[in-house]
């Protein structure tokens, strides 16, 4: 029907890809590899400035999402299943106000604020990304998503243009730590928690786990960490070590206190040599990969949860005739997507197979590529939809882990 959908990625998405990868790179250089807690400002020679004071996370406005509010996470997450024959089936969804565990989420590079670090005003970008990456987890956990003064997309765009930009990663990380400590002191009450992040957010949480959780008493409350779209080192052939000394990779949906992480690429467009993703600098280590569709290994079917509408400032509206009939905010494509973790000379990554057929009534492909000058920028892979392509799988894993955690208590 449609041989390839390249609808939703344009020049803006290309700069998003650069931004996400660049910040992810800083995260790896700054804290995963050498164990340091700082990273350089964006742009060579960028001047350091005296950072502003800490945020007050006792204020409601410092949070994008919190339990019991009508906020950016209190939105419709129903979706439409699009079958191969074009049949549409609406799949209802509802949040669980009595969810037994908590989710603490740190979002990726999305801020379009003009400075090197974002302000603390909730914008459409932050609202949109929590809608796409976090809100659906409300079926399984209470949601906590702090605002933080992240390195902005604006700063990364300027950096790619060769400009010197002052942007402070320490400031961003300090906000995440402050929000985390406020959550523990005022909201946690001994509950199990899941950490969820993507790209810059995963970098922040990786550092948080190393400094505040790994090997400490609080680790017993860790249900799991879903740190996606980030290169997290692990010794080759092992499930623990590298970035974390006491937190292994998840190999079962019943396993607790473990890590789910991956970077995704199309099977037919694997990472090229210049890709930032799927590689780590540490000798004898590889970028950890856990397949949310088959944690024990091998290939599994992805349960995608793809956004119907455009992402403000990043993607454009679809013109696909099938999607024009979809009335829910999200859609899924059963039987079209599968994945397996691959480790080869290109790196360690989640290889995604798209089994679209021209004779089917539905679309033949999914969005997610970064496009520059009309061509796929293979080095970014499917970074823009890392979470969405496996949202249903991650939600199911979280459901099993929450049950296992409650049973263990």
Give 3's contacts (C-beta < 8 A, 6+ positions apart): 358, 364, 365
Percent of the chain with pLDDT over 90: 77
Alpha-carbon span 76 to 59, nearest angstrom: 26
Distance between CA atoms of 226 and 75, rounded to whole angstroms? 22
Tokens in use for 236? Answer: 């080759």
Distance between CA atoms of residues 185 and 188, nearest Å: 7
Q: Return the higher-pLDDT residue of 212 and 318.
A: 212
Structure tokens given for 276? 């930032």
Q: Which tokens hold the place of 362?
A: 């539905």
Residue 318 in this model has a pLDDT that exceeds 80: no
Provide the β-strand partners of residue 354. 337
| Mean confidence (pLDDT) of the chain | 87
Q: Confidence class of residue 28 from pLDDT cuts 50, 70 and 90?
A: very low
Q: Give the Cβ contact number of residue 51 at 10 Å.
A: 12
Q: How far is residue 148's CA from residue 317's CA, in Å, rounded to a whole number?
A: 28
- Write down the pLDDT at residue 31: 34
Contact between residue 287 and residue 373 where contact means Cβ atoms under 8 Å apart: no
**Through-space distance between the first and last CA atoms of the chain, rounded to whole angstroms:** 52
CA-based radius of gyration for the chain:
20
Sign of CA dihedral 174, 380, 398, 131: positive
17 pLDDT more than 90: no
* Mean pLDDT across 117-123: 96
pLDDT digit string, tens, across residues 190-209: 999 999 999 999 999 999 99
Determine which of 7-16, 62-71, 98-107 has the lowest per-residue pLDDT on average.
7-16
pLDDT at 310: 58
Tell whether the model's pLDDT for residue 312 goes beyond 80.
no
HEC secondary structure over 300-361? EECCCCEECCCCCCCCCCCCCCCHHHCCCCEEECCCCEEEEEEEECCEEEEEEEECCCCCCC
Q: Which of residues 23 and 165 earns the better pLDDT score?
A: 165
Query: Average pLDDT in the 167-179 region?
Result: 97
Q: Does 16 score more than 90 pLDDT?
A: no
Separation of CA 223 from chain center: 17
Mean pLDDT of the 259-277 span? 96
Region 327-348: what's the mean pLDDT? 96
Whole-structure pTM value:
0.89
* Confidence label for 37 from pLDDT (cuts 50, 70 and 90): very low
Identify the pLDDT of residue 21: 40
What does the alpha-carbon distance between residue 377 and residue 11 come to, in Å, rounded to a whole number?
11
């Amino acid at each position: 029907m449609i041989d390839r959908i390249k609808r939703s990625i344009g020049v803006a998405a290309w700069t998003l890809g650069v931004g996400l990868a660049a910040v992810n790179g800083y995260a790896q250089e700054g804290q995963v590899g050498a164990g340091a807690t700082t990273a350089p400002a964006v742009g060579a020679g960028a001047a350091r400035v005296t950072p502003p004071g800490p945020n007050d996370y006792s204020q409601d406005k410092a949070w994008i999402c919190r339990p019991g509010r009508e906020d950016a996470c209190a939105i419709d997450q129903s979706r439409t299943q699009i079958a191969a024959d074009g049949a549409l089936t609406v799949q209802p969804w509802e949040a669980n106000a009595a969810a037994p565990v908590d989710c603490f989420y740190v979002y990726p590079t999305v801020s379009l604020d003009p400075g090197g670090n974002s302000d603390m005003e909730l914008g459409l970008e932050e609202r949109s990304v929590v809608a796409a990456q976090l809100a659906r987890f409300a079926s399984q956990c209470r949601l906590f998503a702090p605002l933080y003064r992240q390195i902005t997309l604006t700063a990364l765009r300027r950096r790619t243009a060769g400009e010197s930009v002052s942007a402070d990663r320490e400031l961003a990380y300090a906000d995440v730590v402050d929000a985390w400590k406020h959550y523990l002191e005022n909201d946690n009450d001994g509950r199990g928690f899941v950490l969820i992040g993507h790209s810059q957010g995963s970098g922040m949480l990786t550092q948080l786990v190393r400094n505040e959780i790994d090997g400490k008493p609080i680790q017993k409350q860790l249900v799991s960490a879903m740190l996606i779209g980030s290169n997290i080192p692990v010794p080759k052939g092992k499930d623990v070590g590298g970035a974390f000394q006491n937190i292994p990779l998840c190999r079962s949906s019943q396993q607790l206190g473990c890590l789910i992480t991956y970077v995704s690429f199309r099977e037919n467009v694997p990472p090229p040599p210049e890709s930032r993703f799927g590689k780590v600098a540490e000798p004898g280590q590889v970028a950890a990969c856990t397949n949310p569709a088959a944690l024990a290994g091998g290939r599994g079917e992805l349960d995608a949860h793809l956004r119907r509408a455009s992402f403000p400032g990043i993607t454009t509206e679809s013109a696909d005739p099938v999607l024009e009939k979809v009335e829910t905010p999200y859609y899924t494509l059963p039987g079209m997507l599968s994945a397996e973790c691959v480790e080869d000379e290109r790196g360690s990554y989640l290889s995604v197979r798209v089994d679209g057929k021209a004779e089917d009534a539905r679309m033949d492909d999914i969005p997610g590529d970064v496009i520059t000058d009309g061509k796929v920028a293979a080095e970014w892979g499917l970074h823009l939809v890392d979470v969405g392509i496996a949202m249903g799988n991650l939600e199911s894993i979280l459901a099993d882990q929450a049950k296992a955690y409650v049973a263990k208590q």
